[in-house]
Amino acid sequence: MPKHLRWFIVATIAVASVFAAWVKHNGRLQSVAAHDAIYQAKAQAAPTTQDDSRVIFFSAKRLDSEVHKLPEVGPGTFRVDLNEYSASKGGAMVLRRTRPGRAEVHKRLTDMWYVIQGEGTLVTGGSLSQSTETETDEFRGPRIAGGEERHISPGDFVRIPAGVPHWIRQIDGNEILYLVVKAPK
């Protein structure tokens, strides 16, 4: 395994652990929300490249504010971007789902998830039904045909290689909250 990939995985797990401890410390479910229009406006207003030398820090107070004020980005899907995201470079975000979203495939990005709160059924593999390219190398569809189902719950880590369809088919309870790091393959 390349040295930079090992570092990235360790950093991802560290960020997930800190965030999970923050959620546990606050003693209540933190809803994670963002809005596509706001996200797009921020992306357009931001410089074309993020300053890689800049430290990115989200205080508990700021995250708490973000997760409570922004609306859905899609049906039952809420997102806080932790850094600048692009379909070619990846990024990090916290997602909250209150119902299954669309199935997806990222041709160039590997997803790494750390489940913070809630449980559900993750389907990976198989084939994306009624696939639509939503942006370059990003595909969505209403479901996956075939694939392998896994039950996911707090503390679980999932790595989904680029090109593998994935979908949260079912959410047990009201919602699931998880950290996602997307990295180029």
Q: Which residue has the higher pLDDT, 142 or 82?
A: 142
Residue 26: its pLDDT value, please? 44
Average confidence (pLDDT) over 153-177: 96
Sign, CA dihedral 106-111-116-122, equals: positive
Residue numbers of the domain that contains 143? 3-46+55-184
Average confidence (pLDDT) over 9-16: 52
41: left (phi over 0), alpha (psi -120 to 50) or beta: alpha
Q: Residues with Cβ < 8 Å from 90, sequence gap 6 or more?
A: 109, 181, 182, 183, 184
Q: Which residue has the higher pLDDT, 67 or 89?
A: 89
Q: How many domains does the chain have?
A: 1
Residue 83: give its domain's CATH number.
2.60.120.10
DSSP assignments along 9-39, one per residue:
HHHHHHHHHHHHHHHHHHTSPPP----HHHH
Rounded distance, CA 82 to CA 47, Å? 16
Q: Which two tokens stand for residue 19?
A: 């965030």
Q: Which two tokens stand for residue 28?
A: 């209540």
Nearest C-alpha neighbor of 104 from the set 67, 77, 81? 77
Rounded distance, CA 123 to CA 6, Å? 26
- Please answer whether residues 71 and 33 qualify as being in contact, where contact means their C-beta atoms are separated by less than 8 angstroms: yes
pLDDT digit string, tens, across residues 95-125:
889 999 999 999 999 999 999 889 999 999 9
Residue type, 111: D
